[in-house]
Copies of this chain bind each other. A is one copy, B any other.
Amino acid sequence: MPSEFDIIRRYFTRPVKRALLGVGDDCALIAPELGAALAVSTDMLIEGRHFFAGADAAHLGHKALAVNLSDLAAMGAAPRYASLALALPEADERWLAQFAQGFFALAEAFGVELIGGDTTRGPRSLCITVIGSVPSQLALRRDGARAGDEVWLSGCTGDAALALAHLNARARLPDAALAHCLARLHTPAPRVALGLALRGLATSAIDVSDGLVADLGHIGERSGVAIELRHADVPRSRALADCSDVRLAQECLLAGGDDYELAFTARPDARARVEAIFAEPGLTLTRIGTIVAGKPGMVSVYDAGGNIMPIASEGFDHFGG
């Protein structure tokens, strides 16, 4: 059985180019970048809570990094470094090789260097801290939305939650829809290029991880504004549009979570510039609502007739469930 040090050497030590010192010392060393601030984010994923026992290791390696890169994207930061702490019930080399493959494939795609971490025995869980670079004046914060701003969403929400509903036998998806939704659940694409394109353009941004309405609520709270969404304008995938359980589809759309799209606000006079963004092939940007003066954090969803729809606005809360 490989030792902790063998595991780190074999699976998690790759040469670094940007970092001054990578894995293998008490700390990693990174050089500051002139004129840029560092954006730092941490996410912990626990077996049985954030992923199923027996989850595909390569998918997990991808997703664990992707959800962190999504936080950098929401800040408009360019990904640079990651540290990875991994607890495993046993040193399963096949699992480790697959996990590392999924992790590094995404890391390399986004120029992320693994600079450190920890490996230990324990209930399967992992914790990633990512570090990105962004000029501090251009960082996309949650507190910059102002009344009159328009609310935008990249891609569409609800597919990951719909996949989960299928896996939990709450829905029964046709094969093509299932494949689409499972990919969204297991291997989300962090909207890094979009985040970079929104620098100096978006007045606020957040990544949708807890559910669209809940995450927009976070922007509202931090910015001291309320938000009005037009239900008909919230885009949905073919898989979601075809879902016969209308109630489930709406729940997935507005409160599903695990989407890793960016929700952001911009002034109306920036509309043409937002529409001109080409961040990645096939990624649409849709205007879904408006920032208004009102109770900070309040999100109201309007139906086609202009009436407020009753919706559960709470997103996912790890201690509420």
Q: Mark A residues whose CB is within 8 Å of B.
A: 1-5, 7, 20-21, 24-34, 36-44, 46, 48-50, 71-72, 74-75, 77, 81, 83-87, 90-91, 115-123, 125, 127, 129, 131-132, 134, 136, 139-143, 205-207, 222, 317-321
Residues of chain B within 8 A of A127, CB atoms compared = 42, 44, 85, 118, 127
Is the Cβ of B24 less than 8 Å from the Cβ of A41? no
Residues of chain B within 8 A of A72, CB atoms compared = 26-27
Indicate which residue in B42, B90, B139 contacts A116 across the interface (CB closer than 8 Å): B42
Is the Cβ of A40 less than 8 Å from the Cβ of B48? no
Indicate which residue in B91, B115, B139, B143 contacts A29 across the interface (CB closer than 8 Å): B139
Within the oligomer, what is the number of copies of this chain? 2
Residues of chain B within 8 A of A49, CB atoms compared = 120-122
Shortest beta-carbon distance from A286 to chain B in Å: 20
Closest to A204 in B: B25
Closest to A215 in B: B26
Is the Cβ of B85 less than 8 Å from the Cβ of A43? yes
Residues of chain B within 8 A of A74, CB atoms compared = 26-27
